Structure 1
Amino acid sequence: MKLALLWRREAARHVALSAVIMVLSFWAMARLAPHAPGWAKTADTVWATIDQPVRNYFAAHAQGLPVTAAAIYSLWQAAGLASLILGFFRLSAARLTWIVWGAATVAAVWLGSPEPGRQVAAGIALLAWAALSSLALRGLRLSRPAFVHVDVHNQAPPAPAVEVRAEIHMPKPTPSHYAPYRPPFLPPSPN
């Protein structure tokens, strides 16, 4: 009972602290953006470097489908946002979806970008995906921690009592009057 209550309080504290940090960072960005000329424009052009190739890819490959490219784009955004938020809350399926969504996004940026800047656009998309992955994949460990229990208070068990005896086993001697064949018969010839 106490553990569940402690867990709930800790989760509420964590959510509240995260919300405060996000609000303060948005406030600081709003205060700094007017004083840094071109900052908002740079953010818009970086977003367009990722977003426009994805739109181009969907527009080029949605022809002949019963769904429009705009609907595919909206579904792509919803899947990314949902997997980011649910991955933040450590849902395994959402984390897997986030990984697949990010790889598909980088591939769409690669295929939807014009040739001279294809590598740069895919690199920017990869960096943005890696930065957001720190939220979606937070707390993920690649290997389980090893728990080694060493009991130092008990002494080693006593050595077992071992009895060593040397024995020699000899085969029984065969009697001298033993003959494998009766006298009128001879063994078969090897010829």
Structure 2
Amino acid sequence: MPSNDKPVNGQDNPSFLDVLNQTPPPPDAKDWPRPKPFAGLRSAWKASWKEGGFLYQRWEEVFQARHASRHEVASWIKATALFGGLSLIVMMLDTAGDIASATLKGLSDVPATSASDGSGLWGTVDHPVRVFLADQAAHLAVAPAALYAFWQLTGLIGLVGGFFGNAGAHITWLLFGLGSLAMIWSTAPAGGRAAATGLAALMWALASVFALRGLTLRPIVHNHPPQFQPQFNPALHLHATLPAPAGDDHGDDIHPLHR
């Protein structure tokens, strides 16, 4: 297969122009009858599917990609898969953003003060939060319903994400609970402030059984024996030099004995 591209990592880079290179040369002007329109393209298409043709080899690369390793797969297959994966991630993120926006908008449509009048256990906890957010929204460029919807969404994310063991969701849930207790303490009537805050703390503690699932304050200690234990074998080496025996006539032929 003719190709002008240089091989990369031992693989030929295919080019769609190779299909046109398989087109037979046009006939001479004296030939008769004239060939049909696009006859050359049809011939190139048929030739490319024959053994050794451009499309035939690309199909073989797709068929062999199932059994080949990541490094042996053709470069154009890797690029196509990467582009498709990135496109899928972008579509998922865009869809998730639309869902979150629609959820937040739906929660924002709920009136900030009409759903709870402070009666009942839940109203004792929820009504002070609504009143506190409504008072603060009067000094901010945001609607009270939007603040209340964001407060609900934060608690929902912390509860669900903490149940699945997400560390960030655990932190979110802790901040959500502490902030809720502070709002209830500052807004609840003076006579029942302690009771309302204590009731909210108990509800938050019960919900924390699920939101803080898997969280532990006990340090994790890994006892792994060392892979390499050096061994010390002390040894004492003594070198002594003995003088030559007296009365020996051998002279310097015998060297002193070293031990």
CA offsets 1:162-189 (integer angstroms, 9 cap, x no match) = 68xxxxxxxxxxxxxxxxxxxxxxxxxx
Rg larger for = 2
How far 1:141 moved relative to its partner? 1.4
Say how many residue pairs are matched: 119
What is the correspondence of 1:107-186 to structure 2 with a 5 Å cutoff? Answer: 107-149=182-224, 157=231, 159-161=233-235
How far 1:83 moved relative to its partner? 1.3
Q: Distance in 2 between matches of 1:79 and 1:148?
A: 39
- TM-score when normalising by structure 2: 0.42
Q: More helix per residue: 1 or 2?
A: 1
The residue that corresponds to 1:30 in the other structure is none
- TM-score when normalising by structure 1: 0.56
Cα 1:49–1:158, aligned 2, differ >3 Å: closer, same or farther? same
Q: Distance in 2 between matches of 1:75 and 1:84?
A: 14
The residue that corresponds to 2:148 in the other structure is 73
How far 1:156 moved relative to its partner? 9.9
CA offsets 1:123-181 (integer angstroms, 9 cap, x no match) = 11111111111111111111332222459xxx995652368xxxxxxxxxxxxxxxxxx
CA offsets 1:78-100 (integer angstroms, 9 cap, x no match) = 11011110111111111111110
CA RMSD for the aligned pairs? Answer: 2.5
Structure 1 runs of 4+ with >6 Å offset = none
- 5+ residue gaps, structure 2, are 1-118, 238-259
The residue that corresponds to 1:62 in the other structure is 137
Identity of aligned residues (%): 40
Q: Distance in 2 between matches of 1:99 and 1:140?
A: 12
The residue that corresponds to 2:11 in the other structure is none
Which residue of 159, 165, 187 corresponds with 1:90?
Answer: 165
Higher relative contact order (CA 8 A, sep 6+): 1
How far 1:53 moved relative to its partner? 0.6
Does 65-74 or 108-117 show the bigger shift? 65-74
Q: Distance in 2 between matches of 1:94 and 1:52?
A: 25
Q: Distance in 2 between matches of 1:111 and 1:77?
A: 19
Q: Distance in 2 between matches of 1:59 and 1:158?
A: 75
